[in-house]
Amino acid sequence: MIRRLDLASIDDADRRALLSRSAVPESDVLSHAAAIVEDVRRGGDTALAQAGSTFGGGRAGPARVTAEEITAAAKRVDSELVAALRDAAYNVAAVCREQRPTDGCVEVRPGVEVARYWTPLRRVGCYVPGGAAPLPSTLIMTVVPAQVAGVASIAVATPARFDGTIADVILAAAALLGIGEVYAMGGAQAIAALAYGTETIAPVAKIVGPGNAWVTAAKLAVAGSCAIDMPAGPSEALVLADASADPVFVAADLLAQAEHGPDSSVLLVTADSAVADRVVAEAMRQMEKLSRRDVVEQALAGHGLVAVAPDLESALAFADAYAPEHLTIHLADPEIAVERVTSAGSVFVGAWAPEPVGDYASGANHVLPTGGLARSTGPLSVEDFGSWRQVQRLTREGLAALRPVVRQIATAEGLDAHLAAVEVRFDDKGAGQ
């Protein structure tokens, strides 16, 4: 059911093929999503409603969920679940408060200062997957960092179910966080409405949150006009294990990630063939009891891999090159991997750090880079909800000290006006005299 591979036996071409993947959807999805986006950009609310009717995720009547609907839904949710959502939000906020950027200023030389100031975005849109699989945890993961950052206006978009309603638990999470602007809309049309606005929806400066291929394609389509967090591909996990690992725990970690969907990628990387045998056997045993067994089987058969490396260093090198969304470490000395594998979205260290705790409860963010983007991109954080300004302050003496530098470089580049903008300030007739 799950493919097995000896890493020592593959050549460079096979290795590159194994590591090559992308969070960007196929070209046909990109083109069709772009067409939907353009329709909504031009047609506003009418086009949004039509797309919702055609592709799903919308509902009859206005897209905006009323305050009464949010309040009523929150009252229907079990108090213990609300308490769990509150605890999760508290933990995320605790982590986020430590991420707040601080302004700084550097005196390059006397009379020359360069400062950086961080300002929260004015308005953002948070996309929360809904429909058959509502994810209140994603609402928390996208909204709380924005709130800690100081974003004044936050809009949430989430698909309606087939009956036109939104899951109570999503609206309860919104109520818990004080979010009153929620729209029943999904897919590419929701992204377009957030990015460009409609007659009833104000545009946002940035859109964050994961979604299916259509959502990702639409985010890429609007990226020139509206900022986005990152493309979101299928979920993925890589588990590093050695002889010290408990195969029961390792198997459970792999299955938890495979449960996300049939396109989820799960990899076990080990330098011990016996460990691989024990984990696979245990995974088959545990899988029998899962309610989403069919999904797990599809994920393991289509995107599962057991990679046996010749040694630990080779295993670590492969994990780093793969750059997984989630990295779980079951090694006798896990800190070796923490230091060595620098390309990973979220890292779980040791037997008592299962991946689902990062999805829900630890305070870490679960909006993470996929498709190898962890080589250059990190988890969603407070910094994603603001922008930096560079501010330069110079005195006459400071500019005089930099004058020769400007003269040489501007002359070399043939930009006379650049040079003149400095020189005029030292001209006897200049206003600065």
- Give yes or no: 366 in active site: no
Render 188-226 in DSSP notation, one character per residue. HHHHHHHHH--SSS---SEEE----HHHHHHHHHHTTTS
Neighbours of 384 (CB within 10 A): 24
Residue with tokens 């930099």, as numbered in its chain:
402
Q: Which residues of 414-424 are buried (b: 16+ CB within 10 A; e: fewer)?
A: eeeeebeebee
Render 118-157 in DSSP notation, one character per residue. EEE-SEEEEE---TTS--HHHHHHHHHHHHHHT-SEEEEE
Burial class (CB in 10 A: 0-12, 13-18, 19+), 307: buried
Nearest to 309 by CA among 14, 6, 19, 9: 6
- Is residue 302 within 8 Å of 322, Cβ to Cβ? no
Nearest to 218 by CA among 343, 57, 344, 346: 57
Nearest to 279 by CA among 242, 231, 310, 312: 242
- Give yes or no: 98 in active site: no
Neighbours of 389 (CB within 10 A): 10
Query: Going by C-beta distance under 8 Å and a sequence separation of 6 or more, which residues neighbour residue 299?
Result: 258, 259, 260, 261, 262, 263, 264, 265, 266
* Bridge pairing between strands 265-270 and 236-241: parallel
260, 303, 326, 366: which is the annotated catalytic residue? 326
Show the tokens assigned to 75. Answer: 């009252």
Nearest to 137 by CA among 162, 167, 173: 173
259, 282, 325, 355: which is the annotated catalytic residue? 325
Catalytic residues: 325-326
